[in-house]
């Protein structure tokens, strides 16, 4: 039996996911999954996150059958409506205004796949974030300071965005940043990797 562990691949271009996965101190590659992230009509946020995590892992696993591939996706859920990455200052302002004084559930899915063994499993981590009641001036100061236009929900809890919040409730704290490491570790062990 070959003692060489399989290649580990993160099917993502997200720098946040890459930084989180580095915490595990496992060698890994990064490969773009080239997946269309457009929601389906009436698709609930949790279902969207699960579908996209699977699609990302599958897109790369289909090319590298013996590798262990991680796919992940996060969708902010405000009253059952998916909220994506704002992309612009104006959209981020609108998102933060809509979330002011409310709770948002960040649905973060992770899928680990290894085609050569037939392993594929997907888990979901839901993080409830309660936003403070925000003034327009607070929103503007935050957006100018941090420009979180590539983050679902327009706030980075791991940085200055924490000041916008009243509470975070989660059993997998890194899920809010974009990769639920507790669930990822469990799936990697199931897929046959040894973690430190």
Active centre residues (catalytic): 73
User: In whole angstroms, how far apart are CA 27 and each of 7, 11, 22, 68, 72?
Assistant: 8, 14, 8, 12, 18
d(CA 65, CA 117): 9
Q: Cβ distance 83 to 152 under 8 Å? A: yes
* Tokens matching residue 65: 């059958």
d(CA 170, CA 138): 26
Q: Cβ distance 106 to 152 under 8 Å? A: yes
d(CA 89, CA 107): 23
d(CA 165, CA 95): 14
């Amino acid at each position: 039996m070959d003692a060489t562990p399989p290649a580990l691949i993160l099917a993502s271009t997200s720098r946040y996911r890459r930084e989180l996965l580095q915490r595990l101190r496992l060698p890994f590659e990064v490969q773009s999954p080239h997946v269309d992230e457009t929601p389906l009509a009436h698709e609930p946020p949790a279902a969207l996150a699960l579908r996209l995590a699977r699609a990302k892992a599958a897109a790369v696993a289909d090319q590298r059958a013996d590798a262990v591939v991680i796919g992940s996706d996060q969708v902010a859920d405000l009253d059952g409506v998916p909220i994506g990455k704002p992309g612009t200052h104006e959209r981020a302002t609108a998102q933060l205004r809509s979330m002011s004084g409310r709770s948002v559930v960040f649905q973060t899915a992770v899928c680990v796949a290894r085609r050569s063994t037939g392993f594929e499993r997907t888990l979901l981590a839901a993080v409830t974030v309660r936003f403070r009641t925000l003034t327009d001036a607070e929103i503007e100061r935050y957006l100018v300071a941090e420009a979180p236009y590539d983050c679902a929900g327009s706030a980075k809890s791991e940085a200055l965005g924490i000041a916008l919040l009243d509470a975070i409730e989660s059993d997998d704290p890194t899920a809010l940043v974009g990769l639920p490491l507790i669930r990822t570790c469990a799936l990697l062990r199931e897929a046959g990797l040894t973690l430190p």
